[in-house]
Amino acid sequence: MNVTFWGVRGSYPVSSPYCTRYGGNTPCIEVTAQDTCIIIDAGTGICPLGHHLVERGVSDIHLLISHTHWDHIQGFPHFAPLRLSNARIHLYSLAHADRSLHQIMQQQQQAPFFPIPLDEARAELVFHDLKEGERWQIGPFDLLCKRLNHPSYTGGFRIECNGKTFAYISDTDLYGPRLHGADMNEGTDAEREARRIDLQRSAGDLAHRANLMVCDTFFLPEEYKEDWGHSRTVDALQLGREAEAQRIAFFHHEPHRSDSQLDEIVEHHRAETGHSFDLFAAAEGAQIEL
pLDDT in tens, 47-60: 999 999 999 999 99
- In degrees and rounded to multiples of 5, residue 226 shows phi and psi of -75, -10
DSSP 152-198: BS-EEEEEEETTEEEEEE-S--SS-S---BTTTT-S-HHHHHHHHHH
- Across the range 142-153, mean pLDDT stands at 97
The yes-or-no verdict on residue 274 having pLDDT over 90 is no
- Give residue-wise pLDDT tens across range 186-213: 999 999 999 999 999 999 999 999 999 9
> Which pLDDT does position 237 carry in this prediction?
97
Helix (H, G, I), strand (E, B) or coil at 121: coil
- Give residue-wise pLDDT tens across range 106-118: 999 999 999 999 9
> Which pLDDT does position 277 carry in this prediction?
82
**What are the boundaries of each domain within the chain?**
2-289
81-111 core/surface letters (b: 16 or more CB in 10 A; e: else): bbebeebebbbbbbbbeeeebbebbeeebee
Task: Answer yes or no: are the C-beta atoms of 4 and 30 closer than 8 Å.
Answer: yes
Rounded-to-integer distance, Cα 13 and Cα 19, Å: 11
Q: Return the percentage of the chain with pLDDT > 70, whole number.
A: 100
What pTM did the predictor assign? 0.97
> Which pLDDT does position 272 carry in this prediction?
85
Helix (H, G, I), strand (E, B) or coil at 105: helix
Q: How does residue 276 score in pLDDT terms, banded at 50, 70 and 90?
A: confident
- Among 52, 60, 108, smallest CA distance to 80 is for 52
The yes-or-no verdict on residue 151 having pLDDT over 90 is yes
Helix (H, G, I), strand (E, B) or coil at 85: coil
Task: Answer yes or no: are the C-beta atoms of 122 and 94 closer than 8 Å.
Answer: no
Rounded-to-integer distance, Cα 52 and Cα 13, Å: 20
The length of the chain is: 290
Pairing of strands 278-281, 247-251: parallel
Q: Domain 2-289, what fold? A: Metallo-beta-lactamase; Chain A (3.60.15)
